[in-house]
């Protein structure tokens, strides 16, 4: 969908996502919106194809669920606003608000300080396997790593290694390549 021309705010896309936002998914007769719901559906519907994101161990999945909530409620609110300020505003000819960038960066730094602890002991946020908790960070990370706030990630040894790892995943590279088309 061409967001630059507002196609995401018009039919037929608006029938897939009534909020006029990306993403949306149509799989047969199923229509979904909201990225976390879409990734949950895909991981169950297409289990066994690609990286298994469904953890059979309930305790491990509970840990992954905690980090999914942290991403949704602590990381994403700050990170997505920073993406707007630093990445999208310049594209749309709008002025970045330096005070907002500073305040959001300070809040995000505190979240990344929390991340540094568990990432010192495991490769990924939910343990030693890539899961939803890591996956859901990728869109914002992809944009933020092209901005001045990259330093927030790079200045934390284990957060930096985690970012490099998940951003280098072959499946994510395909997503990034598709965006260029």
Query: pLDDT (tens digit, 9 = 90+) per residue, 119-172?
Result: 999 999 989 999 989 999 999 999 999 999 999 999 999 999 999 999 999 999
pLDDT tens for residues 49-61? Answer: 877 787 788 999 8
Q: Omega of the bond prior to 150 within 30 degrees of 0, cis?
A: no
pLDDT tens for residues 7-52? Answer: 999 999 999 999 999 889 999 999 999 988 998 898 888 888 877 7
The CATH homologous superfamily for domain 7-46 is: Glutaredoxin (3.40.30.10)
From 157, 169, 96, select the one nearest 129 (Cα to Cα).
Answer: 169
Global confidence as pTM: 0.87
pLDDT of 159: 98
Intrachain domains 7-46 and 58-174 with the same fold: no
CA atoms within 13 A on the CB side of 86: 24
**Token code pair at residue 39:** 């990734």
CATH topology of domain 58-174: Glutathione S-transferase Yfyf (Class Pi); Chain A, domain 2 (1.20.1050)
Domain residue ranges of the chain, discontinuous segments joined by +: 7-46, 58-174
Between strands 30-33 and 24-27, the pairing is antiparallel
């Amino acid at each position: 969908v061409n967001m630059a021309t507002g196609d995401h705010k018009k039919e037929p896309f608006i029938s897939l996502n009534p909020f006029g936002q990306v993403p949306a998914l149509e799989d047969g007769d199923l229509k979904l919106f909201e990225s976390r719901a879409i990734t949950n559906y895909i991981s169950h519907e297409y289990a066994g194809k690609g990286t298994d994101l469904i953890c059979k161990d309930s305790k491990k999945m509970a840990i992954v669920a905690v980090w999914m909530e942290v991403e949704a409620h602590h990381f994403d609110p700050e990170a997505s606003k920073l993406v707007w300020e630093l990445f999208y505003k310049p594209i749309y000819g709008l002025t970045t608000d330096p005070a907002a960038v500073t305040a959001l960066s300070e809040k995000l730094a505190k979240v990344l300080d929390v991340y540094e602890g568990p990432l010192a002991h495991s490769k990924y946020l939910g343990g030693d396997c890539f899961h939803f908790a890591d996956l859901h960070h990728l869109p914002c990370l992809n944009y933020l790593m092209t901005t001045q706030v990259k330093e927030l990630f790079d200045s934390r040894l284990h957060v930096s290694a985690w970012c490099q790892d998940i951003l280098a995943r072959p499946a994510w590279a395909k997503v990034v390549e598709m965006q260029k088309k």
